[in-house]
Structure 1
Amino acid sequence: MSQSTSIPKKQQRVRDHGFDNYMEIEKKTRKILKFQSLIFSQYNQTLPISRLDNLAGRLGFKQFEAGAFILKFPHVFEVYEHPVQRVLYCRVTRKAINQIMQEKEALLAQIPDAVTRLRKLIMMSNAGRLRLEHVRIARYEFGLPDDFEHSVVLKYPQFFRLVDASDTRNKYIEVVDIDPRLTVCAIEKVREREYREKGMDAEDVRFSFLVNFPPGFKIGKYYRIAVWKWQRVPYWSPYEDISGYDLRSIEAQKRMEKRAVASIHELLSLTVEKKISLERIAHFRMAMNLPKKLKEFLLQHQGIFYKGELVEPDDLYLARRKLGALVLYSSRKANLDRGLVSYGRGREDDEMERFRRGCEEDGFEGGKDGKDGEGEDDLNLDLSCDVGSDFTDEEDNADEI
């Protein structure tokens, strides 16, 4: 029997079709959010169909792909004829606008919780500070408003302060002091609940994580033993200062490996939807002593970062899920001639027919699911303890966890 407490790096890879379908919805949702931002940036928050391809090209859409895309989601985008100009325009539907307003209201209502999440996030860093830009990129995941620098950081000087780096032009957010009440990890609360409810052996629960493998994942005898041993390995808390420890020993390296798992687990628990892209975790890698090869590291511990629905969803999470519900509505079931898509005089004019036929002739039929993932990121890895509004080029190659 192996005496090693490390989990084998080479493991069986099992494809979860349920998560594959979930990530397909995520891809569509990200494109929809990009399109919504584009439309809202236009005059009167409407976009002429004649300019659709040119402007959508900035978002990575190919020629004629943008027109086919908006026709697939008539519950989100409305194509209508201008009553005076007699040309086609695109705008966001009332249902989608209501969802956006509900999300904004929920976002403002949970600002106090966002303050606590940001404090805990910064307290996990080695120096008690994080780059402002890195937090800005991940603000959507942590439930921070777009103007969080003013509405959160500067508004609460008793908790945060902005500092300029002496050697660079970067700004950093620092915590004013360490609150011991905030240094309790989410997994520690879970362990306490498990111990109280199930009466499990204290030694087994003390350093363990909940494990839930994907369907079809086969656990061999020796792998099960390795996981059991690894679960009993002690480790330092993500909030603990380790600057004074000697990290060169094998025992210290084992603790640091498990501490990295705990850090990512705690980071995920601080997000609204308990998910975040690998690229955005990488921004905090140096500050939190995380491994370089994050994807391989997380796959090695995939049973810990695998979960379905949230146990305790909040209002912000529920508001964001409503957009996913609009995405799920099939365009084939939508009545394109009434309600969501208006053609001015209640008929489909020649311009609309040409627009639709042009999309179909180029292989982008509105009622079919085309290759929406083309040019998108490979999001087949969803390891959660999932849609950002900060659309930068760097996230298009990120894996989702």
Structure 2
Amino acid sequence: MLCRTHSTSSYLRKLDTIITDFTFNLHVKYISSLKVAWRKDPKLDRAIENDKRYKLCARVVREVLNEPGQVIPLRYLEKRRQRMRLHDKAKTFLSRNPGLFDQYYDRIKPKTDPLLFLRASNRLKKFLDEEERIFKENEPLIVSKLCKLLMMSKNNVISADKLLHVKREFGFPNEFLVSLVPRYPQYFRLIGCPGEGKSFLELVSWNPEFAESVIERRAKEEARLTGIRVRPNFNVKLPPGFKLKKGMREWVRDWLELEYISPYEDASHLDQASREMEKRTIGVFHELLSLSLYKGIPVPILGKFSDDYRFSNEFSSAFTRHSGIFYLSLKGGIKTAMLREAYRDDKLIDRDPLLEIKDKFVELLEEGWRQRAEQLRLRREQIKRDTEVLAMKTSE
């Protein structure tokens, strides 16, 4: 009798495992088989293109400022063109973007020939002072962003090197791990030395005020204005002319009816292949993009955090599967996930306060561009006058 009971129990356990595995595989097949064709959105692609020149100039500036003494020989900058994705020669870039650097001659060693060096211009130094002021004014925002990134992650800890890699996406200062983090021991604990590959930033305490997503905050605000309880959910708006097949429309409708799962909730109990986990994952994507400066992050960068945020191996397909929430741009040969609701046409409407830094930098660039345009105009006028004088002398 005991043997038969043990055998029956063993059989039932195996049967339960088979059913669980079948259900798991069914869910995997069910979700991954829902294909939505990618469709180009010229307006959102243009949003990426609009910032192309600014981002290129910012890369060159960072290259110079990261050098010892914040100076660099022009020929060294020329050798790094490919890494900076600079298509023009360094000298051509400087002529097209005046006002960023002063040029001067100096020797690398006492007896070597003088070389042309670059250093920050007074205008660039003034911008850097403005940048520091904006960072200081927005420090509470930066702290909350950093806490949120940790609060959404598994075990509330993330590699320091990964965080350094995304500092520009979220608007963190260059040295935030050594300058900002130590000032907030109530929130952060830095383990190890950043840059050595074995350093981690850990959340020390949970702040409930930070554990509210953009979607939850939006629903709360709408309820306050209307007096009607609003259920948190995603804004879904397909671009003009975009049609979903009937089966996909029904799936999206049913999926939206599922209870919203906050990205700050513990998701360890959720089946990776379930619709609930899909709801939670899309919530994490939405929150990450909302926290970013441009409401868009390159997919390869998101992929670095797959383990931290429990993304599946095929996580990028979710951006096309939910085309009413996200857009997957292929501009520049890099897949970039963008948040549709943050844009009107190609203009960012949901602006992060830290974008004031970009605005100040663009002002600096435009001042130089105006200066160059004026010089070219005067040069053309002088050539025209000289040509007219020469023509008159020839006719005489």
TM-score normalized with structure 2 length? 0.68
Give the conservation status (yes or no) of the 8 Å contact 2:73–2:116: yes
Partner residue in 1 for 2:216: 188
SS across alignment from 2:218: helix
Q: CA deviation at 1:110?
A: 1.4
Decide which of 342, 356, 361 is 1:323's aligned counterpart: 361
Partner residue in 1 for 2:199: 171
SS across alignment from 2:359: helix
Decide which of 7, 22, 31 is 2:47's aligned counterpart: 22
* Structure-2 separation of matches of 1:321 and 1:336: 22
Q: Once structures 1 and 2 are overlaid, which stretch shifts more, 258-267 or 317-326?
A: 317-326
* Structure-2 separation of matches of 1:287 and 1:114: 20
Give the conservation status (yes or no) of the 8 Å contact 1:7–1:300: no
Please state if 1:266 is matched with 2:291.
no
Q: CA deviation at 1:122?
A: 0.7
Partner residue in 2 for 1:69: 93
Structure 1: tracts of 5 or more residues without a match: 342-346, 349-401
SS across alignment from 2:168: coil
Percentage identity across paired residues of the two chains: 26
Please state if 1:161 is matched with 2:177.
no
Q: CA deviation at 1:49?
A: 5.0
Q: CA deviation at 1:152?
A: 2.5
**2:290 alignment partner AA:** S
Q: Which is helix-richer, 1 or 2?
A: 2
Partner residue in 2 for 1:378: none
Please state if 1:278 is matched with 2:299.
yes
Decide which of 297, 301, 324 is 1:303's aligned counterpart: 324
In the superposition, relative to structure 1, how do residues 315 and 227 fare at CA in structure 2: closer, same or farther (>3 Å)?
same
Partner residue in 1 for 2:5: none
Larger RCO of the pair (alpha carbons < 8 Å, separation 6+): 1
Give the conservation status (yes or no) of the 8 Å contact 1:291–1:297: no
Decide which of 147, 161, 170 is 1:119's aligned counterpart: 147
**2:53 alignment partner AA:** K
RMSD: 4.1
Give the conservation status (yes or no) of the 8 Å contact 2:147–2:187: yes
Give the conservation status (yes or no) of the 8 Å contact 1:39–1:45: yes
Aligned length: 327
Give the conservation status (yes or no) of the 8 Å contact 2:102–2:121: no
* Structure-1 separation of matches of 2:238 and 2:364: 30
**2:251 alignment partner AA:** A
Q: CA deviation at 1:177?
A: 2.3
* Structure-2 separation of matches of 1:68 and 1:150: 37
* Structure-2 separation of matches of 1:216 and 1:329: 41
Q: CA deviation at 1:295?
A: 2.8
1:2-401 residue pairs with structure 2 within 5 A? Answer: 9-41=34-66, 52-56=77-81, 58-61=83-86, 65-74=89-98, 77=100, 96-164=124-192, 170-197=198-225, 206-219=231-244, 223-243=248-268, 245=269, 247=271, 253-304=274-325, 305-306=339-340, 307-308=342-343, 309-311=347-349, 313-324=351-362, 334-335=372-373, 337=375
